[in-house]
Structure 1
Amino acid sequence: MAPSTVISIRRFSAEDVAHLETRGVRFVFAGNEKLDPHGVTKDQFAAGIYALPEEIRKDAFALIFDCFHVTERLLDACPNVRWVHHPGAGVNTGELWTDWDLLARRDVTVTTAKIHGIPISEMIVAYVLALAKHLPQFFDRQRRHVYRGDGTDARLPNLIVDGMTALILGTGNVGAEAARKLKTAFRMTTIGINSDGRPVEHFDETYTLAGLDAALPRADFVITTSVLVEATRNVMSRERIALMKPGAFLINPSRGGLIDEPALVDALREGRIAGAALDTFAVEPLPQDSPLWDLPNVIITPHVSGGRPDYNTAVMDRFLENLDAFRSGRRSEMTGVANTKRY
């Protein structure tokens, strides 16, 4: 009898689970909702699965599980798993990278949820406006009960975002939606960077990484929405941060590994760029002694830009969309498959 169990490290509503069970699939929750997948070891993250009875683990054909935590040990514990549905936006984070060779050897298909375009692009717009309108500084004044400058504060001029230029590294689901919003709402010039320079809707210009250096001095906002792969690790290097114009802002809601963090700190301290909004970091949670905490021109959020009230339902919907194709052996028809490009 074919395996019929899905093991998940995410807890879904009774309604979401019912949609799965009506299709003859048993759902088993084996997660720890207090664990941040970006801040634990692989064995810690999978501990709930290892604790399950062997009968359940052997009956599992799929995991709803962050793919950068999949190990040989995990697949040995669940020997019939042939599908991992990744609920996050990126398949690599920090020092945790997906082991694609292992997955290929074990014939495991990885699908990604692709549900982050709307929430992250909305957060990008929020960052753009907060930086341009100096909202963090005004919030600080509010806490200090300062209505206008008190002798230590200069008057903060509002910037006009309308007609500015946004350079977006990554023209996929998130980047394209961010470009659409910025162009529609603020008539921004949008420049995209992708792997092959292909034209993408809502971008005025697109280039490969080879064109990034020439584009950086033109941008008022540099926004990183790219996946983290070897080609993009530290893509915003010290040298490239130095190419940004002095009044420019850097926004990163994607992966901390895209940016040379010490170089960014230096540029912000020295006023070589105007500010930054960061939702992801080289180490997460962001260490208490990170200098980023105390920089007045930085907005810090704790890796929340992809959040949405229906997050788990959206993850389950994407899983259900692929369920029939997987169970009938038509894996080539599944959508959101990451194995070929490995992101």
Structure 2
Amino acid sequence: MGGGPEAPLRDGERARDLLLAVLPWPEKAAEKSIAGIKEEFPNLEVHYIPEQYSERKEERGKVAVPEELQKRANIIATLAWLPATASNIPNARFIQCFSAGTNHLAQHPVYKDSDIPFTTASGVHGPQIAEWVIMTDLIHSHNYITLYEAQKKKEWVQSKGMQVQDRVGRRVGILGYGSIGRQVARVAKAMGMDVIAYTASPRPTPESKRDNGFIVPGTGDPDGSLPSAWYSGLDKESLHNFLKQEIDLLVLAVPLTKDTTHFLSTAEFALLHASNPSGTYISNISRGGVIDQTALIHALETKQISGAALDVTDPEPLPADNPLWDAPNVLITPHVSGSTTVYAERAFLVLRENLRRERDGGKLVNVVDRERGY
């Protein structure tokens, strides 16, 4: 779409804005949402450049984008690509990232040295990641790996599947009660679990507990009514108070910042064990660096925790000789819990909401606070 010389403007005619989308999906994957944007914003030109996805992080964002398009762009939609400097995009009003976080862009000159607002796609990941969290927890609690191995050996041994812990009455502690944590809470409550939430700042009032970000319709906890208790703080004492609450499933859904790096380490695993000797199961769908991986391996080997489901590791990809692969009761997936066939469609809905808010003079949704890192 787009491209070609621009016709001169007639009297009273507005110059068309340019939405430059550089994304690792074929345009067809988001054609419905793009069509909706073009219908609602007829003065917006959309130019879509598909980027070849790479397994290697250092190769992502390496795509040729014509300088003329960079210069004209008013809104940029991206996952990994950014221009060399902010001077390449003098007309950019905001940059819509198609990821939940921006830590992968935090050292880029456009992020560090400009005041162009960055917004994220936070809110689109809740359904699929919540399903991954519950799926892996059930795999663990229902001994599915053992049963599957028996199936491959053509063994019919009922005793291997007898020690099942159903989820009714169990407690899930959600560390980071954003859109993902709220959808985990919704599903967990439907299964009869108790939910407790942990946030960086206190949420003492009904209004402060509301989710004011993007929400996939019919999901999440918009009014913040699902947790039976809320905890908060970035200091160790506050975190430790939360971890003492006999948690059966601990879900890590916090952004990776200097405050949350190695948020869980030796002392925290010891506290979890003391509070729940039968074993907390840890689910990490945030970033690998939130956990001290060496301490995690030790906690698994000494049965301080009952197991761990990890969609993220430190580093990524996880080297084949890393001892985490061989730790007991660990389930590792290659950072795919946020994947869904409708990801691009949903992320464009966030962009569409921001286009509306900008048009109507409102505040953009999911604006990144560069000081906080999210």
Q: TM-score range by the shorter chain?
A: 0.7 to 0.9
CA contact (8 A) 1:176 1:201 kept: no
Match of 1:117 in 2: 126
Match of 1:336 in 2: 366
CA contact (8 A) 2:175 2:251 kept: yes
Where does 1:232-271 land on structure 2 (aligned, <5 Å)?
A: 232-245=260-273, 246=277, 247-271=279-303
Q: Counterpart amino acid of 2:54?
A: L
* Distance in structure 2 (CA, Å) of the matches to 1:97 and 1:239: 31
Deviates more, 1:255-264 or 1:5-14: 5-14
Match of 1:62 in 2: 75
C-alpha displacement of 1:156: 5.7
* Distance in structure 2 (CA, Å) of the matches to 1:137 and 1:110: 45
SS at the partner of 2:145? helix
- C-alpha change, 1:310 and 1:170, in structure 2 (3 Å) is same
Match of 2:202 in 1: 197
CA contact (8 A) 1:120 1:253 kept: yes
C-alpha displacement of 1:144: 2.9
C-alpha displacement of 1:296: 4.3
* Distance in structure 1 (CA, Å) of the matches to 2:152 and 2:325: 17
* Distance in structure 2 (CA, Å) of the matches to 1:166 and 1:21: 42
- C-alpha change, 1:100 and 1:207, in structure 2 (3 Å) is farther
C-alpha displacement of 1:82: 2.8
SS at the partner of 1:145? coil
Match of 2:181 in 1: 175
C-alpha displacement of 1:339: 3.1
SS at the partner of 1:198? coil
SS at the partner of 1:140? helix
Determine which of 45, 49, 56 is the counterpart of 1:30: 49
C-alpha displacement of 1:197: 3.0
Match of 2:35 in 1: 18
CA contact (8 A) 1:100 1:342 kept: no
Structure 2 residue runs of 5 or longer lacking an equivalent are 1-14, 205-223
Q: What TM-score, normalized to structure 1?
A: 0.85
- The CA deviation string for residues 99-149 of structure 1, in whole angstroms up to 9 with x for no partner, is 599547523111212211222112211122111112122222222333328
How many residues are matched? 326
Where does 1:213-292 land on structure 2 (aligned, <5 Å)?
A: 213-217=240-244, 218-245=246-273, 246=277, 247-292=279-324
> Which has a greater percent of helix?
1
C-alpha displacement of 1:74: 4.2
SS at the partner of 1:46? coil
Q: What TM-score, normalized to structure 2?
A: 0.78
Q: Counterpart amino acid of 1:61?
A: N
Superposed CA RMSD in Å reads: 2.7
Determine which of 1, 18, 23 is the counterpart of 1:4: 18
